[in-house]
Structures are given as C-alpha cells and as structure tokens.
Amino acid sequence: MASKQASKRLAREYKSISENPPPYISAHPSESNILEWHYIITGPEDTPYYSGQYWGTLIFPSNYPFAPPAIRMHTPSGRFQPSTRLCLSISDFHPKSFNPAWEVSTILIGLLSFMTSEEMTTGSVSATPRERKMFAERSRWWNSTGGGSHAKNPAQKGNVKAGDGGAKFRSEWPEVDKENWSAMAEKNINTVSGELIRASCGPALGSAGRGQTQSVVDTVVQQRDAGTGWLSRNRLLVMGGVVFIYVLIARLLGEAEDA
C-alpha cells in the first residue's frame, strides 16, 4: 500500500505528465493501484524502433520518492527481454543512486534514452536494426493480441506476458487497443500470426487445379485447330502429292521424247 506521501506525490506527477507529456511518451497509474504505472513509448524517427508501440510498467515502492521503481518493458523490442526487470541507474537495482527530485517523466525519458543507445545491462539484449524494425512493425499486434494468444482462450487473464490474450493491455489502454485493432483490419493483418494476409493470385494447382488447367489447355488447342485451315493441318500430305505429280509428269514427258 502506498504511503500518504507517495500517493500525494504520484497524483501530482500524473497531473503533470498528463498536461505536459514528454515527446514519444504516455503514462498513467492503474485505477486499482497508484503504485502501478503503465507507459507507452512510441519509437522515435531515425531509430529502428520508429512507429513501434512499446508498453511497459513502473512498479513504485510504498516509500517513493525515496526509492526508485522496478522498470519493465513487456512489448518485444529487440532491445530488452520482455517483462524483465531492467538494471538502470533510475531503477530499483540502484536505490542508493536514485534522486528523490526525479519524477515519472524523468524516469521514462531516461528509459527512452537508454533504449535508443547500445549500452548493455541486465535485461537488455542484442539484435540487428532489421530485427528491431520487425519487432516495431509487430508491436501493436503483440500488445492487443498478447502475441496472438487471444485465439487460444488463455487461462491467465491479467498476466502481462504473451499468454494473457492482450487482456491487461486492453484494460489499461482501451482506446489505444481499439486503434490497434482498426489498424490491423486496415492493413489486413492475421491476428493470430501477426503476418500480412496476401491475396491469392489464382487457384491452387492441386488435383482439382490440374484438371482445370488441362481443360483450359484442351480448349486452347481446339480453338487453335478450329481457326487453322485444312491445308495448314495437312501440309505434309499436300507436299507429298505435289512431288508425286511432278515425278509422274516428268516421266511421261521423258517417254514421249523417246518415242
């Protein structure tokens, strides 16, 4: 349970960050627990995280601001292990280095700065820019579907990991969740796999397909033959007849000259 001082401080900070949010950052406390904050970082331009939607939590101690929060990012990013506590100078890994003057906005700006660097720490991972771009493209799908687990009737509703079917994200960010589903529908995204659904350019050539294909070929051949004259179709026979007649005439002419 939050102390009176922590509740008062966090309520003031929520008002401040709502009225003047830092660039690329949105955050709010959970309705049921002011010590549990949820944030979304939108990937900045000129980074491999561009347009990605990175959701995470700050879990504050009851004696905040005299101790820092635990920081996690749940959305796969290629930068941090999902739902793993991050070892940062502004996190609960280093309580002695935390400055009580730092606010929620200060903490999240620091997290964003660390995210866009290549410095390694506990909870961070290595990935190529291309891999991070792929995570960014799938981030909205992952948040709203729980990594596709919405279709598997997940048992652990409220778990912030992939198996919750997107329930926790939906409860904390209902409007953002609606936008994500609309975007997936517009982009024709498979909500189970997160992949783009590509339209088929023709029927599959299975057993039925091969029969259809053979029918087309037969029809073309028939149309070709129907449009070709008798002379063209029997040109060898005609040529043979011409040669035979030529030889016969030559022989008759030769016999006439001998007579």
Domain boundaries, the chain: 4-186, 207-258
Cα dihedral sign, 64-70-76-80: positive
The catalytic residue positions are 87
- The alpha-carbon radius of gyration of the chain (Å, integer) is 36
How far apart (Å, rounded) are the C-alpha atoms in residues 251 and 229? 33
Burial class (CB in 10 A: 0-12, 13-18, 19+), 248: exposed
Measured on CA atoms in the order 90, 27, 1, 101, is the torsion positive or negative? positive
Token pair of 64 as six digits = 């905040």
The residue length of the chain stands at: 259
Dist CA 210 CA 205 (whole Å): 5
pLDDT in tens, the chain (259 residues): 899 999 999 999 999 999 999 999 999 999 999 999 999 999 999 999 999 999 999 999 999 999 999 999 999 999 999 999 999 999 999 999 999 999 999 999 999 999 999 999 999 999 999 999 999 999 999 999 999 999 876 555 555 767 889 999 999 999 999 999 999 999 999 999 999 988 665 554 444 444 544 554 455 445 555 544 555 556 555 566 655 565 566 666 665 555 5
Query: Considering the entire predicted model, what is its pTM?
Result: 0.76
The one-letter code for the residue type at 145 is T
What kind of architecture, by CATH, is found in domain 4-186?
Roll (3.10)
